[in-house]
Chain A
């Protein structure tokens, strides 16, 4: 049996191998240009002071020490963590509730689903622009404006992102809810389980994989949030803190970007921030893998 399948593989494999330049080389070359080389160069430059890669001079860990004493970075980190916690809870609770209600076969469920998903098709920059107009319009009635205060900007971004991502997570929850075995629900019904008992004892344990997926998706989305942050407040307002300018509503991704744009002395620091940011996101992604896998073992 093993021999037979090996022969089969060879029948297909050997001729393909000759065509490697066609099948794999174009993608691999583009992959090196678009990912591998910039990634390696990025790690190297995070230890350098540079304007362009040509004039890079080695500085050791100086950039990294600067990052951790940078008030703007610490502020952005706190913002991002707070933003992630608030949006994970808000988005997932609302998205699950909507998905649950829509799978109860209410009239017009498809139409509602279409409407809730719609914001995902519009780019973050455009969404930011639209919502800044709305928030400014509301706040004007109270004699203020969106970038007057960091609190407005933070909650404004939460509302925008919730409005955008609830529809996306709802789609994943609906797919999860539809996969709950019908006979389990019937059995619960026959055994006289109440609606809430069915929800908490049967449905939620069954959609745990979707809950894990959505939680991590909202987590990584919050960490990588850039366009909406840029277009809604651009990090404003700014204050002077410990002698440095701090953009109050800036999240991590935007902070990396604005650090780079201060001047060329900050290029290396911005790249060091990017490396730290990558490590953070990578840890989150690996944690997700571990969590998903432990769920699979249980089932």
Chain B
């Protein structure tokens, strides 16, 4: 297709520039308000900071210890839960998917069909009962909740891994077996490296899910002790009116910045992961 360089192309580009600005506006809104004094956020939410309303980094400093719960702690728990859950899901689901693909047993078949069923079950169906089970098994801390994520996220992950593993030639693994490689070594040295593109796709989808998830950790975690960033933000909103809006905007800003940074560096993979996940999901 030829490049549209004419007047029509210029109009189209100009239109997209405007549309992009509209798209960025909500984030811009958070940025400007995070530098304004609380009273001005409510009074003139769309005004740029003026000499009168500008407070520098005061909101950010306040935001760090705001709402009786340190932001750094919530961010730390969010990070711990996300990294541990995604790592667990990637390693164990890849292993299970390989087992299901290579071993033709009743167990494999049952597990596979259960995975398919789990993919169409919405979280609301299991949320109350999952909370009871997690409490009973002490899975209600940031260190143990990754097990819950592994359990609830296994269906989609195994399904995506299976799709890829089925396209891998058996000859490579056979050669490894002949060369004296046991199953464990074959998996970690031969199969896992070949799975890299799917590991990235699945990893991105799970990352976006766990990091932004609100309801599962809200229900499962012991909230008197542990909050993640989404829980903290919703908690701050709950006290709307009495809450310091300027500082809340700073908290939101601090929660968005790491995501934007990751996005800028891994954009290609993220977009590929989404496209790959959608075809199958």
Contact = CB atoms under 8 A, between A and B. Distances in A.
A122 B256 contact: yes
Q: Which of A34, A104, A115, A253 has the most CB of B within 10 A?
A: A34
Contacts of B233: 123, 125-126, 129, 231
Contacts of A130: 26-27, 29-30, 252
B111 to A, nearest CB: 6
Contacts of B25: 134
A226 interface: yes
A34 B130 contact: yes
Interface string B128-170: 1110111001010000000111111111001000000000001
Interface residues of B, number: 106
Given A15-B182, A34-B151, A107 B26 contact: no
Contacts of A129: 233-234, 237, 248, 252
Interface in A77-135: 98, 101-108, 111-127, 129-134
Given A31-B114, A185-B1, A137 B214 contact: no
B73 to A, nearest CB: 18
A20 B100 CA distance: 10
A136 B46 CA distance: 11
Nearest to B45: A137
Contacts of B267: 114
Interface in A43-97: 45, 52-53
A80 to B, nearest CB: 12
Interface string A18-51: 1110111011101111111111011001000000
A123 B124 contact: no
B103 interface: yes
For this complex, into which size category does the number of interface residues on chain A fall?
Answer: 35 or more
Contact of A256 (B124, B182, B271): B124
Interface stretch (B9-17, B52-60, B62-70): B9-17
Contact of B23 (A119, A174, A231): A119
B211 interface: yes
Contacts of B182: 15
A277 interface: yes
Nearest to B24: A115
A37 B120 CA distance: 16
Interface in A156-194: 163, 167-168, 171-172, 174-175, 185
Contact of B12 (A101, A224, A226, A282): A101
Nearest to A127: B26
Contacts of A256: 124
Which of A33, A38, A101, A231: most chain B CB closer than 10 A?
A38
B1 A104 contact: yes
Contacts of A19: 183-184
B20 A16 contact: no
A274 interface: yes
A222 to B, nearest CB: 12
A285 interface: yes
Contacts of A282: 120-121
B111 A8 contact: no
B104 interface: yes
Nearest first, the 10 closest Cβ-Cβ pairs linking A and B are A34-B151, A123-B212, A137-B45, A30-B151, A38-B126, A38-B129, A285-B120, A278-B125, A23-B99, A38-B130
5 contacts: A8-B170, A16-B99, A18-B183, A26-B150, A33-B137
Interface of A: 8-9, 11-13, 15-20, 22-24, 26-28, 30-39, 41-42, 45, 52-53, 98, 101-108, 111-127, 129-134, 136-137, 163, 167-168, 171-172, 174-175, 185, 213-214, 217, 223-224, 226-227, 230-231, 253, 256-257, 260, 267, 270-271, 274-275, 277-278, 281-282, 285-286
Interface of B: 1-4, 9, 12-13, 16-17, 19-20, 23-27, 29-30, 33, 41, 45-46, 88, 92-93, 95-96, 98-100, 102-105, 107-108, 111, 114-115, 118-130, 132-134, 137, 139, 147-155, 158, 170-171, 173-174, 177-178, 182-184, 186-187, 208, 211-215, 229-230, 233-234, 237, 245, 248, 252, 255-256, 259-260, 262-263, 267, 270-271, 274-275, 278-279, 281
